[in-house]
Amino acid sequence: MSNPFSDPQPQSLDSNPFADPAVQAGLNSHAHEEYDAASFKGASTYDLPDQQAAAASGNADMQARLADLQRREQELAARETALKQKQEHIRKHGRNNWPPGPFPLLFHSIEDEIPQAHQATMTTIYRIWMFLILTLIINLVGAILLLVSGASNGGSDLGAAIMYVPVIGALSFLLWYRPVYNAYAKEYSFFFYAFFLFGTFHVAFCAYMFIGIPSSGSAGLINLISRFTGGHIVAGVFCALATAGHGEQGHSFAQAKQEIQMYGIKQYLFKAHSMPASANQTAEV
């Protein structure tokens, strides 16, 4: 019978210290933790490309949203700019500024309403119209001097000359100047037709005024000759100015009319004739 109070037998130096069940349990637990850590590390490494792809996809979506937002902001800014320009155009063009004075009747601005390619031509036409008004005023002065100098038909010439200034001035503005102005500003060929129609009458009127038939209201060529031959130098000088003005007026207007025909109406007529053809081609396609 063994002594229960005696010390246990010491283990041999050659025995395996790891054979102790407690040690084995600890080792097994540590190995399991290492396996789990390795498994976790391996899984993380395996899943990394998917995570990178997801992050790249998210960045691409964010960039697309930013680009769309910037595009919308640019469109909004463009709309605001267009609206401001329209308001400014209404503010400027909505105000009548012609004729200059306290009671303007309409808006007139070659720089703002006429395309740049046609501004020089339109300016020439406007100067021709202004020169017409000046010529009519000089003709009126010549008619007054005809009456003062004792011309037999001086009264009739003066009455007609007085009428020419407002009537011919207004009709010329409405019938041939304003139509060609609107033709360039609004690109309507109809206004070109009106300009050429009434412009022809204007050239004929200038020729009529150049002749200077007595009682016609013109201090033209015939009255010019009669004043110089009668020794009325001052009246003859103004008749000469009126005659030269009517001649220059008709010549300048004819040149401007030809220039408009070459560079203006052909373009619009070509556009008008080409539009149905293009529409038919579109329909055929």
Rounded CA separation 173/185 (Å):
16
Q: By CB neighbour count within 10 A (0-12 exposed, 13-18 middle, 19+ buried), where does 74 fall?
A: exposed
Q: For residue 49, give every residue at least 6 positions away whose Cβ sits within 8 Å of its Cβ, in sequence order, or none.
A: none
pLDDT, tens digit, for every residue of 36-70?
444 444 444 555 566 666 666 778 888 888 888 88
Tell which residue, 280, 281, 261, 283, has the closest CA to residue 270. 261
Whether the CB-CB separation of 194 and 175 falls below 8 Å is answered with yes
Alpha helices in 94-188 (DSSP H): 110-113, 119-148, 154-172, 178-186
Q: What pLDDT was estimated at residue 91?
A: 65
The dihedral over CA atoms of 135, 141, 146, 150, expressed in degrees to the nearest 10, equals 180
Instruction: Please give the distance of CA 209 from its chain centroid, rounded to a whole number.
Output: 41
Q: What pLDDT was estimated at residue 283?
A: 32
| pLDDT (mean) for 184-203 | 88
pLDDT, tens digit, for every residue of 2-18?
555 555 554 444 455 55
Q: Which two tokens stand for residue 252?
A: 């300048």
DSSP assignment string, 198-213: HHHHHHHHHHHHHH--
How large is the C-alpha radius of gyration of the chain? 49
Q: Which two tokens stand for residue 150?
A: 């004792």
Q: Would you place residue 96 in the very low, low, confident or very high pLDDT band (cuts 50, 70, 90)?
A: confident
Cα 77 to Cα 70, 73, 89, 166, 185: the distances in Å are 10, 6, 18, 50, 28
Higher pLDDT, 234 or 59: 234
Which pTM was predicted? Answer: 0.63
pLDDT, tens digit, for every residue of 112-130?
899 898 899 999 999 999 9
Omega prior to 179 cis, within 30 of 0:
no
